[in-house]
Amino acid sequence: MPNPSENAPSLQQIVCALVLGADHPITLNESQKILADVEADDRQEQLERSQQVSDEDLEAVQAAADGQTPADADTAAPAAKPALKLASEPVQTISIAALKKILADLQRQFHELDSGVELVEASGGYRFQTASDCGKWVRKMLNKGKPARLSRPAIETLAIIAYRQPVSRSEIESIRGVYAGHVVKALMEMQLVRIIGRSDLPGRPFLFGTTPAFLDHFGLKSLKDLEPIRT
C-alpha cells in the first residue's frame, strides 16, 4: 500500500491517476501489480537509505547479532533497525475487491460531478471517456465526423464472428450464403475483427475473432456480455 506520509496521495487518487494515464482500458490485475511493484520499489529505496550508516553503527549491529541483551540491542544502530524490520515484512497487495470498490466510488463521484467525463468499464478494464451527450462537440474539436455506421451485411458478418469465434471465412459464407471476403476485410480495417489463428482443416484457413475495439464499439465489458442467441 502507499506510504501513509502526510504528503502522499491517497489510494483513490493513485488509482484515478492510473486509469487516466493508461493508453488502454487498464485492468484490475494491472492496477494491482503496479501498486505492488511501486511499494516494493519504495521499500527497497528506504532499505538502501537506511543501510547507509556509519562503521560504528554497523559494528553495533554485529554486536547485537552476536548476543547482546535486548536492552543493548535497543541502543545499537538505530538507523539500521527500521531497515531490518522493513526487509522482513512482506509487500502488501491491494485486493481485487478493494480496487473494485475504489473504482465504483470514483464512478459515482464523476457521475455526481456531472463534469462531461465518465469512468466506464470496457474491454475488460477501466477508462475515462467523454460523456456520450458531449460527443458532438468533441468530434467537432477533433475534426471528426459521426462514427461510420455498419451496413447490414457487416452487422450480420460481425454477429457470426462474435458468437462463433474462432471462425473461418468459409464458415461465415456457409451461414450467410454469400461471399464474405470484402466484408471481413472492411471489418478488419475498422479494427473490429482480427485474425486469431489458423484452422487445422486442409489449406489451414485463417480464423477470425473480435477485437477490444469491438467491445468498445458496442459498450461491452467482455464477450460474456453478449446477449444470448434467441432460438
Q: What is the tens place of the pLDDT at every residue in 148-157?
A: 789 999 999 9
Q: Distance between CA 118 and CA 121 in Å, rounded?
A: 10
Give the model's confidence band at 231: pLDDT under 50 very low, under 70 low, under 90 confident, else very high: low
Q: Which of 32-41, 141-150, 206-215 has the lowest mean pLDDT?
A: 141-150
CATH T-level assignment (fold) for domain 152-225: Arc Repressor Mutant, subunit A (1.10.10)
Q: Distance between CA 81 and CA 160 in Å, rounded?
A: 64
Quick check: 226 and 220 in contact, CB under 8 A?
yes
Q: Check pLDDT > 50 for residue 193.
A: yes
Give the model's confidence band at 86: pLDDT under 50 very low, under 70 low, under 90 confident, else very high: low
Q: How high is the pLDDT of residue 76?
A: 47
Helix (H) or strand (E) holding 45: helix 28-50
- Which option is the CATH number for 1-144: 3.90.550.10, 3.40.30.10, 3.30.420.10, 1.10.10.10? 1.10.10.10
Q: Check pLDDT > 90 for residue 176.
A: yes
Q: Which residues of 54-90 are buried (b: 16+ CB within 10 A; e: fewer)?
A: eeebeebbeebeeebeeeebeebbeebbebeeeeeee
Q: Check pLDDT > 70 for residue 116.
A: yes
Q: 152-225: same fold as 1-144?
A: yes
Q: How high is the pLDDT of residue 112?
A: 93
Q: Check pLDDT > 60 for residue 228.
A: yes
Q: Check pLDDT > 70 for residue 5.
A: no
Q: Region 184-196: what's the mean pLDDT?
A: 95
Domain boundaries, the chain: 1-144, 152-225
More confident call, 217 vs 87:
217
Q: How high is the pLDDT of residue 73?
A: 47
Q: Region 119-136: what's the mean pLDDT?
A: 89
Give the model's confidence band at 18: pLDDT under 50 very low, under 70 low, under 90 confident, else very high: very high
The answer to whether the predicted template modeling score (pTM) of the entire model surpasses 0.85 is no
